[in-house]
Every structure is written in C-alpha cells, then in structure tokens.
C-alpha cells in the first residue's frame, strides 16, 4: 500500500497515478484502430461512415464502462481504500453464491492479462519495421521484431525479483510525456478535418452497428472493446494511488486518448482512397499519421509505454494472486517483498509462469494483428462478474432500485460485448479460455476442497481443549520427563468452544509426551480488511497454556514468528506468563526461551471416511491436498524456515471408522 503522501491528492500522487494505473488502457491506441481496419478488410473498405461510427463507439464505450461504471461507481466500492474484484468480493460476501462470480472474474482477469504484455510490446515494436536509423535500415522481417520483443519481455520478467521501486519513479513522467504526445499527435491530424468531432454523437455509434459498410456487424464491438480493457486494472490499482488521484487524472487521460483516436480517424478518412494504402491490411494508423521526423521518437516512447503497461500488468497479477491466497481461493505461494513499500511484491512461480505463457503467445500468434484477434475475450467475463458484485454492493448501500437499474444496463452492455467477442474464440481466444479454465479449476478445487473437507470433519475428530488443561499443566511440571521445548507452538485452528483437532492432543500426550514450559495454540484468521493486523490472547485461567488468535488482512504477511515474539514479550512484561530466561545464552538479558513449532500435514488416507464420500467430494478434497503438497509448505508460508519445526503426518480423518461389510467368520480361543 502506498504511503499517505502518494495516495492523497497531490501533484506527486497524480504523476505516480499516470505511471501505475493507465499503462494498459493508455497503450490501446497502438492497436485498437488497427483491429477496426482489419475488421473492414483493407484500407479501401474503411468508408468515412464506418470510421466515424467506430470512433463514436470507442468514445461511448470509454464513457459508459470506464468512466461511469469504474471511475464513478466501482471506485465507491473500496475495501479500506483497496479495489479490484477480490477486494470487492471480500467486501460483499454476504451470500455464498457470490464466490462464483469472484472465482470466474479473477481467473479470467489473470488469464487475459497474459496477452497484454505480448500485444502492447509487439504493437509498439512493429513500428520499427523498415525504419531508417542514420545509415541503418531496420529489417521488415517479423521474426526480427519477435526476437526484440522476446528480449524486452525477458528483461522485464528477470528484473522483477530485484524490485522495480527505483525505475518505477520514472514511470509517471514517461507516461505524462506519452499521453501528451499521443494527444498532440491526434490533435495535429484532427485539425486537418475537424468534422470528425461529430463522431462524439451517439447516433453514429448506433448507425454503424446496422450499416452495410460495417461488414462484421455487431462483432465490431469485439475490436472496440480493446479500448477499455484497462478499466478493470484501473479499479484494481486504486489502493496504490488513492481514488482522488484517479478522479483528478482520468479526465486528462480520457481527453488525450480521444484526441488520438479522433486524429487516427481523420487520417484514415483522408487516406482510405490513397493508392499507396488501397489494398493493404494490417496497417497501423497510429504510426502512419505521424510526420516521418517524429516516428523514431514515437517508437521509443511507445515502447517505453508498452513496457510500463507490461510492468503494471505483472505487478497487478502478483497483487491479485496475493489477495486470492489471503481469501483462501488459491493455494499458498511464496510472496517476497523486494522493495521498501508494501505494494512492491514478487511471486516467483507466478512471474515465470506468466513469462513462459506470454513469450509462447508472442511466437505462437506471430503478429500483433493475430494477438488483437484473440485479445479481450476473457476480460469481458471479468467485467460481467464485477457487475454482479457491484450490484450486491449497491444493495448493501440501501439503493435497491439503483442497483437493479445498474445490473440491467451494464449486464446488457457487457453481455453485448461478450457476444461480439465470441468470434475471437476461433481466432485464438481459445488460448485465454483454456488458461482461464485451468486457473478456475485450481481455484474451485482449493476453495471448495477446503469447504468439503471441513464439512466431513465430524465432531469425533475434535475434542475440547479445556478437558486436557489439567494434564497439560501436570506434564509441564513433570521433571521426570525431559523438556521437549520451552515454548511448544501448534499452528492449528481453535474453535470458539475450544474445540481442537484430536490429533493435536494425541501428539502432545500420547506420542511420547512433549513437555514444555508454555503450550501455544495459534489460530490465524483471514479478514476482509486488507491490512488488518490484530490479535487476542486467552490464557484459559492458566499461566502456561496460551490460545492466540491472529487476525490478518488478506494482504498481510503470515510470518507468524514475527508476531509471536512480539506477543510473548508483551505477556512477559505484563507478568501473564512465567519468566523463561535461559541459563546459558550469548545474548545478555535474553528473556525468551527456545521455540519449537509443530505443523501437522494432513494426508488423505485410502480408508474409512472416503468409502462413504461422493466421487465429487473425493476429487475436491484429494485435489486440495495434492495442491497443498506441491505448493509452499506450511513452514515456509508461516516464515519458519529458520525455526525449529517438526512436521507430523496425520490422517485427514481420525475416529473409529468401521466397514459394514466386515463379518466374523471364526474365532479360535484355546486355553490350556
């Protein structure tokens, strides 16, 4: 989370906002008009009526979806100043079914994001083909462009582990130059044909959908939608820069974007009968409308803007995954913080998976034209799911009529965009659909696997901790048993009625009794408040059995070793637990004795309870345990990699399971 100075309205905050929030939507002029021309066929087919209608559709799409839905409505739904689909879900999860749109929307957002770096960097670099740099003329071969794109993307992914805080400071000024440049470039061409401004009327947008000059009909919306794909990212990044900085900068960004789109439209209308372009498809008016003296600068600044957009997407993916982990939607993954600010995080497995997929997309599709044909399909799903969650938010705010109007209007608009984008499925959209389904499967298995496991945990699996307090106190004082640890810590959930897993008590009392000065039972709860960090202590009328409940927001680190040492020092200061200064220590005035952490690793035994489970439950619970075993181990997740940790394998279901088919055949009992 950014510091207060950055998130409050200020010149610095606005500059940082330009660099963080608008990378995706800000680079859309590189490829949107190109996609619209490809829909028409060739430049000769881009009649003025078609181009004016297309730009009108872009203007009203940005007005309705980006401005009205996201800037003016969605940003009101902030979860302690945080935005994004998972933060929104954490805010409105009053009904169980709302997890479904959250899972679908989150998986689609992660999947579609793999195309963003590929399409933006490739679109920017394709401008160098055939360009002359001094005496050097750049190759027209697409393979050369792809090699350069691959080098740029690899560099971006490699530097993630070092943190991007320092280079991130330059993002704002670069994006300010970028938006100013595209606005002025568009204005220069617009002045040549001011009549293009009539495209701002919604009449042209409606007419082009039914006009014979529009050969693809309603499916043109699939290309128009590319202009607003960064709207969801805008909402997600709200927590980093503050909503007021977005309110202040969006009018400038919107104006610059529309000036550029209008300028491109003016250039196309002026040149659609030009024999030089007459039968060319795949032409990019963004570069073509520029004077030749400015093209080199345009390529450089476009490449930098594309890199910034890619960087924003990558860090946004880290944040999205971290939130999903905190909400128990995704399995545990190792999260690092290479920068000095909390928003600077790095997830190695996500980084390299994104890298592999993105570079595969670059070489698999080959050109930005082919990438554009597949881009945007999955993100329409995310927007629809966000609409469902926002509807619930508006209901919670006691605006039922407004909520229903909002749902009908935006579900209709975004549903139309989804239908128009379905044609992209056969042109490569199936790639993002496959990625979406893979991510969604992991989310479903992890989330519902947890739910079904808990449902099958019968009361016989739990005991009441209070019943065993006398034995724990007696064991602690029993000098005939060697001390196992000064502080013995179990990472386990303790119920409100002091119910605890039978296997925990069995571990302490029955498996070679574990004598300790203090027994700790740590419950970690994820909360809907992103950065909450509170705890409560229940001594249960003892001085050596401690029940600690840690309440951590879904964006907080779960390194419990840090929290426990703070808690034990507080308890010692208040004389709530006995002093435990070690007899021997290299550190003077040390007050805390040794710690030993016990983590129980549940295994899905092939007996007992499984026999009576449905096939779906077996699949979900078994899949959940498989994911647990191949992702970050609990010791690493809780920050205990340098602590004394004991891992005990225990069956998922204990108790006296019986088999109804077991029958007695014979008993021989011979007594001499």
pLDDT tens by residue, 454-507: 777 655 578 899 999 999 999 999 999 999 999 999 988 888 888 888 888 988
- Ramachandran quadrant class, 518 (left: phi over 0; alpha: psi -120 to 50; beta: rest): beta
Which value, to the nearest 10 degrees, does the dihedral of the CA atoms of residues 27, 29, 31, 36 take?
150
- The Cα-based distances of 431 to 120, 316, 327, 385 in angstroms read 17, 21, 27, 20
Q: What pLDDT, on a 0 to 100 scale, did the predictor assign at position 657?
A: 55
| Nearest-angstrom CA–CA distance, 388 and 257 | 28
Q: What is the pLDDT of residue 2?
A: 45
Strands 483-491 and 136-137: unpaired
Task: Say how many C-beta atoms besides its own lie within 10 A of residue 555's C-beta.
Answer: 27
CA gap 345, 341 in Å, rounded: 9
pLDDT at residue 671 tops 70: no
SS3 246: helix
pLDDT tens digit sequence for 37-91: 988 888 888 899 999 999 999 999 999 999 999 999 999 998 888 888 998 998 8
Rounded to 5 degrees, φ, ψ at 79 are: -100, 95
The residue with greater pLDDT, 107 or 657, is: 107
Read off the pLDDT band of 518 (50, 70, 90). very high
Model pLDDT, residue 605: 58
CATH fourth-level superfamily of 9-448: Amino acid/polyamine transporter I (1.20.1740.10)
Structure tokens at 51: 């181009």
Looking at the chain, the domain(s) classified CATH 1.20.1740.10 span 9-448
Using a pLDDT cut of 70, give the percent of the chain over it: 91
What's the confidence (pLDDT) of residue 340? 55
Cβ neighbours for 340, distance < 8 A, ≥ 6 positions apart:
165
Distance separating alpha carbons of residues 186 and 622, to the nearest angstrom: 57
What's the rounded Cα separation, in Å, for the pair 164 and 204?
A: 44
Residue-wise pLDDT for 342-392, tens only, equals 556 788 899 999 999 999 999 999 888 888 777 888 889 999 999 999 999
Q: What number is the average pLDDT over the span 320-334?
A: 88
Residue found by looking up tokens 């419950």 in the block: 523
Q: With H, G, I as helix, E, B as strand and everything else as coil, classify residue 534.
A: strand
Would you state the structure tokens that stand for residue 194, as one six-digit string? 């001011």
Check: CB of residue 227 under 8 Å from CB of residue 311.
no
Query: Following CA atoms 232, 235, 239, 245 in sequence, which dihedral angle do they give, to the nearest 10 degrees?
Result: 130
Residue 512 carries which DSSP code? S
pLDDT at 478: 92
Can you say how many angstroms the Cα of residue 124 is from the centroid of all Cα atoms in its chain? 25
pLDDT of residue 607: 43
pLDDT-wise least confident of 24-33, 300-309, 367-376: 367-376
CA atoms within 13 A on the CB side of 187: 8
> In this structure, are strands 515-527 and 132-133 parallel, antiparallel, or unpaired?
unpaired
Report how far Cα 551 is from the mean position of its chain's Cα atoms: 22
Cα separation, 603 vs 453, in Å, equals 12
For range 208-215, the mean pLDDT = 93
* The pLDDT of residue 20: 85
pLDDT digits (tens, 9 = 90+) for 547-558: 999 998 877 777
pLDDT in tens, 222-261: 999 999 988 988 888 887 788 899 999 999 999 999 999 9
Residue among 189, 184, 180, 223 at smallest CA distance from 57: 223
Separation CA 411–CA 418 (nearest Å): 10
- pLDDT tens readout for residues 103-140: 999 999 998 878 889 999 998 898 887 676 667 777 77
HSE of 198, CA atoms in CB hemisphere, 13 A:
8
How many other CB atoms are there within 10 angstroms of residue 118's CB atom?
A: 25
What pLDDT shows up at residue 547? 94
Residue 622 has pLDDT above 60, yes or no: yes
Of the listed ranges 86-95, 156-165, 322-331, 567-576, the least confidently predicted one is: 156-165
Query: Angle 574-579-583 (CA atoms, 0-180°, nearest 5)?
Result: 155
Angle at 112 between CA 107 and CA 118, to 5 degrees: 145
Within 13 Å and on the Cβ side, how many CA atoms surround 53?
26
């Amino acid at each position: 989370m950014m510091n207060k100075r950055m998130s409050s309205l200020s010149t610095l905050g606005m500059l940082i906002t330009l660099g963080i929030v608008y990378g995706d939507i800000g680079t859309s002029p590189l490829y949107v008009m190109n996609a619209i021309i490809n829909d028409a066929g060739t430049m000769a087919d881009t009649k003025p009526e078609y181009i004016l209608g297309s730009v009108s559709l872009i203007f009203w799409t940005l007005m309705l979806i980006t401005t009205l839905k996201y800037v003016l409505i969605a940003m009101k739904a902030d979860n302690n100043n945080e935005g994004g689909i998972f933060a929104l879900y954490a805010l409105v999860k009053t009904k169980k079914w709302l997890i479904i749109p959250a899972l679908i929307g989150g998986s689609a957002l992660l999947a579609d994001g793999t195309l963003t770096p590929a399409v933006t960097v490739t679109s920017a670099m394709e401008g160098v083909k055939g360009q002359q740099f001094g005496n050097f003329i750049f190759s027209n071969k697409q393979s050369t462009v792809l090699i350069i794109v691959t080098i740029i993307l690899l560099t971006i992914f490699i530097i993630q582990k070092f943190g991007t805080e320092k280079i991130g400071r330059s993002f704002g000024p670069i994006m300010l130059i970028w938006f100013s440049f595209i606005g002025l470039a568009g204005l220069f061409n617009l002045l040549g044909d001011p009549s293009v401004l009539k495209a701002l009327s919604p009449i042209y947008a409606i007419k082009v959908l039914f006009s014979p000059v529009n050969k693809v009909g309603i499916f043109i919306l699939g290309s128009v939608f590319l202009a607003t794909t960064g709207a969801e990212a805008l909402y997600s990044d709200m927590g980093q820069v503050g909503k007021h900085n977005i309110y202040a900068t969006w009018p400038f960004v919107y104006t610059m974007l529309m000036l550029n789109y209008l300028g491109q439209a003016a250039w196309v209308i002026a040149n659609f009968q030009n024999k030089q372009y007459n039968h060319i498809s795949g032409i990019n008016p963004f570069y073509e409308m520029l004077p030749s003296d400015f093209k080199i600068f345009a390529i450089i600044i476009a490449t930098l803007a594309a890199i910034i957009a890619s960087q924003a997407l990558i860090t946004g993916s880290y944040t999205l995954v971290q939130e999903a982990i905190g909400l128990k939607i995704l399995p545990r993954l190792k999260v690092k913080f290479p920068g000095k600010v909390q928003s600077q995080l790095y997830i190695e497995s996500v980084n390299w998976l994104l890298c592999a997929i993105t570079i595969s997309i670059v070489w698999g599709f080959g050109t930005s034209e082919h990438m554009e044909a597949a881009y945007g399909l999955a993100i329409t799903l995310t927007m629809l799911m966000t609409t469902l969650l926002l509807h619930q938010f508006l209901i919670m705010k006691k605006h039922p009529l407004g909520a229903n109007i909002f749902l009908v209007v935006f579900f209709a608009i975004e549903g139309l965009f989804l239908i128009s984008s379905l044609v992209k499925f056969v042109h490569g959209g199936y790639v993002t659909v496959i990625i979406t389904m893979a991510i969604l499967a992991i989310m479903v298995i992890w989330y519902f696997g947890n739910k079904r496991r808990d449902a099958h945990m019968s009361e016989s699996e739990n005991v009441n901790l209070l019943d065993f307090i006398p034995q724990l106190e007696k064991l602690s004082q029993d000098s005939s048993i060697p001390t196992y640890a000064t502080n013995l810590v179990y990472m386990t959930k303790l119920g409100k009625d002091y119910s605890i897993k039978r296997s925990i008590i069995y571990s302490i009392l029955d498996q070679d009794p574990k004598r300790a000065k203090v027994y700790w039972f740590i419950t970690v709860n994820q909360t809907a408040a992103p950065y909450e960090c509170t705890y409560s202590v229940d001594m249960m009328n003892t001085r050596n059995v401690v029940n600690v409940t840690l309440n951590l927001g879904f964006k907080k680190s779960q390194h419990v070793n840090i929290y426990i040492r703070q808690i034990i020092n507080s308890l010692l200061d208040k004389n709530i637990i006995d002093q435990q200064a070690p007899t021997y220590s290299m550190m003077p005035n040390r007050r805390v004795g040794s710690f030993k952490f016990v983590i129980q690793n549940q295994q899905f035994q092939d007996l007992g309870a499984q026999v009576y489970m449905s096939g779906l439950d077996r699949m979900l619970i078994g899949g959940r345990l498989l994911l647990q075993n191949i992702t970050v181990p609990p010791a690493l997740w809780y920050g205990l990699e340098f602590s004394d940790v004991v891992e005990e394998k225990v069956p998922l279901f204990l108790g006296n399971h019986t088999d109804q088919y077991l029958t007695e055949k014979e008993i021989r009992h011979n007594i001499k």
